[in-house]
Amino acid sequence: MTKIRRRNKRQPSSPRAAALKGLGRWLVARRKEIRRQVRVQKGRREGEERTSIEIDHRLEATDVGLGKLHIRTQKSHLPSNQFSSEARIYISNAARSDSGRVIYCLDADEVIAVLAFHIGRRKSHPILITVLAIRQDVKFNPTLASRTLQAGLVLKHYAHAISAELGRGGDIDIDLADSRQMELMKELGFRKAPRLEGFRPGGNHLRQAAPG
């Protein structure tokens, strides 16, 4: 008797997933342009070597429906009704160093996503994202919900560029303390990764390999 094998049909991608995938390909194709926007300055402060990052880029993203975005490390206001208190605390602490450890994505002078990161002393370590925050006021605005998520993906590619410019291979890690964000991070391309030697994580350790 011949057995008939049933093939599992792949579920069609949602419009949101398809949009992120298309945007990801578009950003990969522009990775050299994005990397050119990263300015690294090295010096010493209080006897320790300090690395400062500066980005001020007007990204023309009309091809993928995002219009004109402003990506910068200059401090920007995060309204309490738009970003969670936890995210604002993390961002505020990271911005105090004045070393460009926060990247903002603005649309018409309004922040729609923000990312903070840490550069460890070990050059073998990738840079570590400490928070990637998107807008919270999206319940009745599906357009903004999609746009803020896409802006988060855009910022992630600038983090890849910083990692590459610092000679760390382009990989980026994130230590996810809140497991409720796991699905969101997976949408943005992160996957579970082994713990780093010499680093004490406080949650789920994830990694995104360099694009391209």
Give per-residue pLDDT as tens, 64-120. Answer: 999 999 999 999 999 999 999 999 999 999 998 878 899 999 999 999 999 999 998
**Residue with more model confidence, 48 or 82:** 82
d(CA 28, CA 91): 26
CA angle 11, 141, 10 (to 5 degrees): 5
Does residue 163 fall inside a structural domain?
Answer: yes
Determine the longest span between alpha carbons in the chain, in angstroms. 80
> HSE-up of 110 (CA within 13 Å, CB side)?
11
- Any domain includes 98: yes
Q: Quick check: 59 pLDDT over 60?
A: yes
Q: For the domain that residue 141 is a member of, what is the CATH number? A: 3.40.630.30
Q: How many domains does the chain have?
A: 1
* Helix axis angle, 142-165 to 15-29, nearest 10°: 30
Q: Is residue 4 a part of any domain in this protein?
A: no
pTM of the model: 0.89
Report the alpha-carbon distance of residue 22 to residue 34 in Å, rounded: 17
Domain extent at residue 112: 15-208
